[in-house]
Amino acid sequence: MTRTVNVHEAKTHLSRLLEAVEQGEDVVIARAGKPVARLVPVPARVARVPGTLKGQVVIADDFDETPVDVVASFYDDLEPS
């Protein structure tokens, strides 16, 4: 179910509208009869589980052996050797 309210009603009854959103209701806020915003619930955060990608990520043995010319390109005062 979608409820449309005007800006004045939204300002006056914000707490009630938030309760309605928490209960699953859609709330659209309109100005001069035109919808301009929608109140929606914030998605629940999923707890991070360390090790979830274990065995799926591979880092090359030489990942930190960056060529000198590439490093130099990030700095003005270094010249590639």
First to last CA, the chain: 68
The number of residues making up the chain comes to 81
Distance (Å, rounded) from C-alpha 1 to C-alpha 9? Answer: 18
The CATH class of 2-39 is: alpha beta
Per the structure block, which two tokens stand in for 30? 């309109």
Give the sheet arrangement for strand 34-39, strand by strand: 2-6, 26-31, 34-39
* Residue 80 reports pLDDT greater than 80: no
Q: pLDDT for 17-58, tens place per residue?
A: 999 999 999 999 999 999 999 999 998 888 999 999 999 999
* Residue 3 reports pLDDT greater than 70: yes
